[in-house]
Amino acid sequence: MMTILISFKFFGEKGICAFSSCVFILANIQVLRQAQFFFQDTPVALGTISFSSIFLANNILTEYRGVKAAKTSVYLSFLLYAFFTLEMIITLSYSPKTDVHYSCMQRLFQSNATLLFSGIIAYLVSQLSDIYIFSGLKQILPNRRFLWLRNVIGTGLSSLIDNIIFSTLAWYVLTGKPVEMKSLVFTYILGTYWIRILVALLGTPFLYFAKRLA
């Protein structure tokens, strides 16, 4: 999260845009790696925490630079991720001279089309929802002492939207082997939701501190 403040300090809106774009790409690579932690019965995709930090970055932009700047960051990160994905697809379309690293690159960058589509849709809807929820709450609760509440509610609701859209599309609607509804709700949607809420709480002090850098 310090990276967000450093980016904001030295590069302003452009720094936040760059951060969100890099993290969006990184999180979609990290999501392929799952780890088992002592505090969680089910495995956790490592991209969950990285992805959650984008909500904090957008809230900083919404609070100190306005809705337009935050939306620009979302659209730019989406376009850069789409460009990155297209470039990797083109790169992997060439026949390799050797197969030393090619199979590894395929596993990393030739993601399942269902997961790719679900992730992109969930990203756009959830990030834009976060911006509108956060800015709407600011009109209702403009006092700075409610900044933490706006951050937690905005991130909490938009993270839930993200989990619902991605999990429903990827594991229930667009897959040939849909999971059971109980598993969809309690494992895929709510299983790691508490981690996103925790990230929102931990990120609140950084949102306040960003005022000094605005």
pLDDT band at 113 (very low <50, low <70, confident <90, very high): confident
* pLDDT confidence of residue 214: 76
pLDDT tens digits, one per residue of 69-87: 999 999 999 999 999 988 8
pLDDT tens digits, one per residue of 144-195: 999 999 999 999 999 999 999 999 998 899 988 899 999 899 988 998 898 8
pTM equals 0.90
The parent domain of residue 201 ranges over 2-212
Q: How far is CA 201 from CA 56, 98, 134, 138, 204, in A?
A: 10, 48, 15, 18, 5
Q: Give every CB contact of residue 118 below 8 A, 6+ residues apart in sequence.
A: 165, 166, 169, 170, 174
* pLDDT confidence of residue 127: 97
Q: What is the mean pLDDT of residues 111-119?
A: 80
Count of domains in the chain? 1
Percent of the chain at pLDDT above 70? Answer: 92
* pLDDT confidence of residue 114: 82
d(CA 208, CA 149): 12
Report the first-to-last Cα separation within the chain, whole angstroms.
16
pLDDT tens digits, one per residue of 13-24: 999 999 999 999
